[in-house]
Chain A
Amino acid sequence: MGEDALRLEEVAPAAFAARVAAAVEAGGRFGGLDARPDGAGGHRVRALVIAGAAPLLVATAARQGSVPGLRAMLGAADWDQREAHDRCGVRFAGDEPHRPLVAHPADPVAWTTPVSGEDVHQVAVGPIHAGVIESGHFRFHVVGERILHVDVRLFYKHRGLERAAVGCRPDEGLALVRRACAACAVANQVAYAQACEAALGLTPEPALRRQRTLMLELERLYNHLNDIGQACAGIGLAAGAMEFADLKDRMQRVNRAVGGHRFLFGTVAVGAGVAPADRAARAAARAEVLAVRDQALRAWREILFNPGARQRMRGTGRLGADAVARMGLVGPAARASGPAHDARTVSPRLWYPGFSPALAPEATGDVAARIEMRAAEIPPATEIVADLLADDAAPAPARAATAPGGVGVGWVESPRGETTCVVDLRSGRIAGLRLRTGSFANWPGVAAAAVGEILPDFPLINKSFELCYACVDR
């Protein structure tokens, strides 16, 4: 049994919420909750908590379609509960009524938060936006320009990818997971591959772990460069937006040279690696990655010294460490408010020897700190990439290590934070799949950060998180 052996616990419905909350209280990270038909007319509800590198699945039966809700103890479960309710009607007692999340009732009263008072009105934006942006809808409750509350309505792009995976072989499921999101393609697929391998009792060898880590950090680099550029666009700083758009493109060219694709599609397989790029290509990529880092840090310093940029970013969209913890936010957005978890410190199926997360120079929890976190994470990611590009070994397939258990859990620090995946296999076919991405965890944070700010700052606050719609909608 490895350090990441999965524990399964079946508890009585009345004990469910307390058990999950206690596991989180004891230092575990909440990794999602879902509900599935139990095949006998009822439903089973299951929550994931990961303590260090040890995953725990707590399951219970929903009696008369209801289990006690977790929200009071565990704010991070709110969207999971609403999704579970929309998908199969399970109710979470104490947290009702459940505002629809995945479901899209036509009547706004059914899905918006009631906000009333003198001069309160609503501003509806989307699903189609003015720029080249993914589809999603925001309903702002405002007085004048001041935002009182935002209802985020996503799932316009819901493609039913998880449901489509049921009955597929693990390799067919991988193609569906890749389609979830281009910008997180590696993270999502590695989390999924890890979950399948864990369910099959397979363990990746060091060369495979290194190859996946290389792809994950390449993905982080182009995403972080993109995010800084997007934030510049959000404040109308064209010079920064253009500079970082170009740096991102340079990294995507590196992706193509190293992984054969600008978004690294095709670089992850279940139970195996892919053929590495040849030595000359890797040497050239290494030099380019180092050059991109140097240019990125120079350009970032210029932005920091731009008074207009500073003024727009500082103090805008502030979230305190307590709010971050309450909502269970993850990734650079969480680390911008204070020390917060980075899944790379507990990834035995990857290759992060001696890793410790970059710290925010000033953990002010505002737009400035969130963008600064991206800049702070570029040098360590570059170092990992440069190291791993020097590696020659072609990965061997994952080896059988334990008896197949039928259910497996995977987790990965994506560019947006920890992404988890739970896969159930039956006779070699997928019986259940749940992918909970860093973006899914963080959308409630976008809405919270906007409260009290003015409407024109919302695009900037939104871009300081730069979350995906696609890998939430699935």
Chain B
Amino acid sequence: MLIKDLAAARRRAGLPRPGRRGSLALRHVDAGSCNGCEHELQSAAGPAYDLSRFGLHIVASPRHADILLVTGSVTRRMLEPLRAAHAAMPEPRLVAALGDCALGCGLLGHADELVGPLEQVLPVSIRIPGCPPSPEEIAAALRGVIASGRPGPTGG
């Protein structure tokens, strides 16, 4: 990709300039999504939005992560893997609910197969609403965590 294409892509994304300090490592877990939230998280890490400019990196292991980004309505079958990923993270660690499903809004499916909102399983401190939240919204919410200066609760 040529540098000028990259510049154009970033203009379209319309993100602010990176701040000055701080970084957070993100680990994603799909707990039962429709894959929309994954697509948008990937886009947020892609060329136009480029989360890494803001010190936000998606990492391959929960061992390296500060934030667990969870998507989807938690299914019965993903409950244990999700808990294991969370338990594998070093302290301090935060959990972000990415998208309306993880937030428990309008959960759809059969009651036998769903555990319920993420909040009933893990302590959620970052809430990113949307179905799915756009890459801009994901980037803005995560930047907010860094801007707040401490890995503490944000959102409503």
Complex interface: stretch among B15-23, B38-46, B141-149: B38-46
- In the complex, A246→B1 CA distance in Å? 9
Decide: B35 and A164 in contact? CB cutoff 8 A: no
Which one of A134, A158, A185, A248 contacts B33 once the chains associate, using CB atoms below 8 Å?
A134
Which one of B75, B110, B112, B131 contacts A157 once the chains associate, using CB atoms below 8 Å?
B75
Q: Nearest-CB distance from A16 to chain B (Å)?
A: 29
Using a Cβ cutoff of 8 Å, how many contacts connect chains A and B? Answer: 131
- In the complex, A140→B84 CA distance in Å? 22
Q: Nearest-CB distance from B7 to chain A (Å)?
A: 11
Decide: B48 and A159 in contact? CB cutoff 8 A: no
- In the complex, A181→B35 CA distance in Å? 6
Decide: B35 and A156 in contact? CB cutoff 8 A: no
Decide: A132 and B42 in contact? CB cutoff 8 A: yes
Question: What residues on A are CB-neighbors of B35 within 8 Å?
Answer: 134, 181-183, 468-470
Q: Nearest-CB distance from A233 to chain B (Å)?
A: 10
In the complex, A426 has a CB within 8 A of chain B: no
Question: What residues on B are CB-neighbors of A457 within 8 Å?
Answer: none
In the complex, A262 has a CB within 8 A of chain B: yes
- In the complex, A156→B58 CA distance in Å? 22
Question: What residues on A are CB-neighbors of B45 within 8 Å?
Answer: 132
- What bracket does the count of chain A residues touching chain B fall in? 35 or more
Within 8 A of A (CB), among B21-38: 28-38
Q: Which of B38, B40, B45 has the most CB of A within 10 A?
A: B38
Which one of A128, A160, A263 contacts B36 once the chains associate, using CB atoms below 8 Å?
A263
Within 8 A of B (CB), among A395-442: none
Question: What residues on B are CB-neighbors of A133 within 8 Å?
Answer: 30, 38
Question: What residues on B are CB-neighbors of A265 within 8 Å?
Answer: 131
Question: What residues on B are CB-neighbors of A157 within 8 Å?
Answer: 30, 32-33, 72, 75, 77-78
In the complex, A130 has a CB within 8 A of chain B: yes
Within 8 A of B (CB), among A141-181: 155-161, 163-164, 175-176, 178-181
Which residue of chain A has the shortest Cβ distance to B40 in the bound complex?
Answer: A262
Decide: B109 and A135 in contact? CB cutoff 8 A: no
Per-residue A-contact encoding for B32-67, CB less than 8 Å = 1, 0 else: 111111111111011110000000001011000000
Decide: A242 and B131 in contact? CB cutoff 8 A: no
Question: What residues on A are CB-neighbors of B110 within 8 Å?
Answer: 159-161, 163-164
Per-residue B-contact encoding for A256-267, CB less than 8 Å = 1, 0 else: 000000110100
In the complex, A391 has a CB within 8 A of chain B: no
The answer to whether residues A156 and B9 also contact, given A245-B43, A470-B34 and a CB cut-off of 8 A, is no
Sort A-B residue pairs by CB-CB distance and give the 3 closest, nearest first.
A160-B110, A182-B36, A159-B109
